[in-house]
Amino acid sequence: MDEPMSARVARATTEGETDPATLELMRAVASQDRNAFKILYERYAPRLGSYLLKLLKRPELVDEAVNDVMLAVWQNADRFDPAQGRLLTWLFGIAHHKGLKALRRAGRSRSEVSFNALSPPGNDLEEPKEALLAVEPHHPECTVMGWELGRALAWALDRLSPEHRAVIELTFGEERSYLEIAGIMGCPVNTVKTRMFHARKKLAHLLAQCGHGEFVVAPESLP
Amino acid sequence: MNTPMTDPPILDLAHSEIEELLPWYANGTLTVAEKATVEQHLDYCLTCRMNLEQCDAFATLVHQPDEETWRPPAGHFNRLMAEIDRLATPPASIQSAKARPSLLQQMMDWLWATPSPVRWTLAFESLAVAALAAAVWLPMSPTAETSYETLSRGEGHPTVTAIQARVVFADLLTVGDLQTLLDEIGGQLVAGPSVLGVYTVALAPGDSTPATALSHALAVLRAHPQVRLAEPLPEVKTP
């Protein structure tokens, strides 16, 4: 029997409750308690910064992006509603939004063309097949077969769109549920699943170009 | 055999729907029912097992120990707090707009900011200017009804001018001599000089009769070396 979405959302919210001590901390931050804010910063800023580092793939942008995130937290702490989800999900949502904003800003300042090459958010429900195969098959970097896997992954992730990179990182790196990711990215659950499908396929394809074909699942086995 | 009550419900999901859940099965965030449904499906679906292996491999890769991490650079938090403080302080333009002092207040502030000798000098000069302005303006203020009169129509002039004489004075007669002469005869200039240099002198008879006064006046005038002509005028009634 198919479970109604509302029930699943409600259950996931309950499972993801924020603990009372963290709620107390957030209340203190909302009342402009600087000591509480410092505790919050030390607890979450490194994790949010690491996520932003993977999302942006531009280390020079991360310090400022983290700054923007924590500033938004300070200014909007009273808007955090524990009934709507966990604190970490709320924080990741702010980080994701600020990260994409930083990318757009940097893209404008460097080159409009380079940013346009990235897939804009929300248009990948029906991602064209060409986009999946848009990677240059004989990219010079790919000619060095047998790359060390970690380096190959970093290269491949760098070539995903920020939205695809985010869904991979939030799922496998931060171990967020698809409901939480939908909240973080501000999109429907089905969009999250679709993005994940395309991100996995593209990632496997890119890794195969670097000599790691073991990630490719036979085409006929994919939906 | 009955299913135990604790067994999770199996959801009625299509193959594609289950495959979509595999990444979150791999990261352990599915609900109990979803997890049970996926596990049941994996028992017989080779494709989903392959996709699950892919997801597990991605999860392992992303979790590599040498994965990129971010650590706050030195002073990052302090810079953040400085930014917060800066935003909490309204811009100078807003501050000035919100509490712009009056012109008087600005002048007082400026005055108190000046050295004491300069301040006292300025105060003295300001008072002097104010006094000068008062001296110039106060007499011109309409404090009382003022009546204006000409020399020939003054209040102190005789109202009855029945006795008048026409007089021509010599050019050498001074104003002082003229005043002495007029005092002596009890007369006042009421007109003239005409084109021919003739003045009209009105005589106040005093205690004597008009004829006596006139003859006395004419005698005095004619005796004066600076009077060329002294003649009686016909009697004239004035209002």
Q: What is the pLDDT of residues B74-95, one digit of tens each?
A: 889 999 999 888 888 766 655 5
Q: Is A34 within 8 Å of B79 when comparing Cβ atoms? A: no
Nearest one of A42, A131, A58, A132 to A100, comparing CA atoms: A58
Q: Rounded mean pLDDT of B175-187?
A: 87
Cβ separation of A204 and B46 shorter than 8 Å?
no
pLDDT above 50 (res B38): yes
**B135 vs A201: CA distance, rounded Å:** 99
Domains of chain B plus CATH, in order, are 15-62 (no CATH), 164-232 (3.30.70)
* Higher-pLDDT residue of A139, A126: A139
Optimal mutation site among A178, A184, A220, interface B, most CBs of chain B within 10 A = A178
Phi, psi dihedral angles at A118 (to 5 degrees) = -80, 145
Task: Give the ipTM of the model, two decimals please.
Answer: 0.73
Write down the pLDDT at residue A213: 77
Q: How many CB atoms lie within 10 A of CB B156?
A: 6
Rounded to 5°, angle at Cα B171 from B167 and B173: 75
Q: What is the pLDDT of residues B225-237, one digit of tens each?
A: 888 888 888 765 5
The per-residue pLDDT for B1 is 46
Which of A5-9, A212-216, B111-115 has the highest average model confidence (pLDDT)?
A: A212-216
DSSP assignment, residue A173? Answer: I
pLDDT at B5: 57
In this structure, are residues A90 and A124 in contact, taking their beta carbons and an 8 Å threshold?
A: no
Residue with tokens 């999302």: A55
| B169 bridge partner residues | B227
Please report the pLDDT score of residue B197 as a whole number. Answer: 84
> Which domains, and CATH codes, for chain A?
5-112 (1.10.1740.10), 122-221 (1.10.10.10)
Mean pLDDT of A169-179: 92
B210 vs A24, more confident: A24
B74 touches chain A (CB under 8 A): no
User: Coil, strand, or helix at residue B142?
Assistant: coil
Using DSSP, how many helices (H) and how many strands (E) does chain A show? 11, 0
Please check the confidence at residue B150 and state whether its pLDDT lies above 60: no
Q: Describe the strand order of the beta sheet including B164-169 as a list of residue ranges.
A: B187-191, B199-203, B164-169, B227-232
Tell me how far apart the 2 most distant CA atoms of chain B are, in Å: 170
CB within 8 Å of chain A, chain B residues 145-174 = none
Is the pLDDT at B149 greater than 70, yes or no? no
Determine the residue type at A187: C
The Cα A142–Cα A140 span in angstroms is: 5
**Is residue A99 within 8 Å of A62, Cβ to Cβ?**
no
Q: Does A42 have pLDDT greater than 90?
A: yes
pLDDT of residue A3: 43
Q: Which of B27, B46, B64 sits opposite A175 (nearest CB)?
A: B27
What pLDDT is attached to residue B98? 55
HEC letters along A69-87: HHHHHHHHHHHCCHHHCCH
- Whether the pLDDT of residue A118 is over 50: the answer is no
Between the CA of residue A199 and those of A175, B46, B230, what are the distances in Å? 16, 21, 135
Residue of A nearest to B64 (CA): A150
3-state SS of chain A: helix, strand, coil percent to 5?
75, 0, 25
Residue A43: pLDDT band by 50, 70, 90 thresholds?
very high
User: Under an 8 A CB cutoff, do B16 and A223 touch?
Assistant: yes
Chain A residue closest to B12 (CA)?
A: A1
* Angle (deg, nearest 10), helices B116-137 and B103-113: 130
Query: What mean pLDDT is predicted for residues B86-106?
Result: 68
Alpha helices in B114-209 (DSSP H): 116-137, 175-185
Phi, psi of B151 (to 5 degrees): -60, -30
Least confident range from B96-105, B133-142, B186-195: namely B96-105
With residue B46 as reference, give the H or E element that holds it.
Answer: helix B46-62
Count of CB atoms within 10 A of residue A77's CB?
21
Residue A111 has pLDDT above 70, yes or no: no
Distance from CA of B100 to the nearest CA of A (A): 29
Chain mean pLDDT for chain A: 77
Confidence class of residue B188 from pLDDT cuts 50, 70 and 90?
A: confident
Q: Which amino acid is at A115?
A: F
Give the whole-angstrom CA distance, residue A56 versus residue A166.
9
Amino acid letter for position A95: A
pLDDT given at position A177? 94
Q: How far is CA B79 from CA A68, A192, B84, in A?
A: 11, 35, 9
Contact in structure between A186 and A120 (CB atoms under 8 Å): no
Quote the pLDDT of residue B173. 84
What is the reported pTM? 0.56
Residue from A44, A66, A175, A212 whose CB has the most chain B CBs within 10 Å, to mutate: A175
Amino acid at B111: L
Q: Which position has the higher pLDDT, B164 or A6?
A: B164
Reported as a pLDDT band with limits 50, 70 and 90, residue A121 is very low
The confidence band for A72, taking pLDDT boundaries of 50, 70 and 90, is very high
| pLDDT-above-90 percentage for chain B | 19
Per-residue pLDDT at A133: 41
